[in-house]
Amino acid sequence: GAVVSQHPSWVICKSGTSVKIECRSLDFQATTMFWYRQFPKQSLMLMATSNEGSKATYEQGVEKDKFLINHASLTLSTLTVTSAHPEDSSFYICSARGGGRGIYNEQFFGPGTRLTVL
């Protein structure tokens, strides 16, 4: 149980284009999804937290107009990197947390999406 998928697993795009990354909880309903970014040899950095049906809460320093997050259902959240630039190249990882008690109330990670902006 507690499987989270991400799509695509890697993407290469030209500078100025927008990229959408999908995060799905496959066998549980995710009341909350988290988006992280990780640069090489650095730790995870939380970008934003989203609850189903409401606006995402962004961490300080993360531009909400550049990183658009939609959590329209209990099993799907999307992150759109708008007008991507080379400095946005990173490993983007989502995690999902179910409600209630027990293990599903903890965070389970998707496999990540490696974005390279040329």
Partner 1 sequence: QKEVEQNSGPLSVPEGAIASLNCTYSDRGSQSFFWYRQYSGKSPELIMFIYSNGDKEDGRFTAQLNKASQYVSLLIRDSQPSDSATYLCAVKSNYQLIWGAGTKLIIKP
Task: Closer to partner 1 by CB, 15 or 27: give it.
Answer: 27
**H or E element at residue 41:** none
Q: How far is the CB of 27 from partner 1 (least distance, A)?
A: 15
Q: How far is the CB of 91 from partner 1 (least distance, A)?
A: 8
* Positions that interact with partner 1 (CB under 8 A): 34, 42-44, 46, 49, 91, 93, 103, 106-112, 114
Q: What is the sign of the dihedral through the CA atoms of 28, 52, 50 and 67?
A: positive
Q: How far is the CB of 14 from partner 1 (least distance, A)?
A: 23
Q: Tell me which residue of 48, 92, 43 sits closest to 69, measured CA to CA.
A: 48
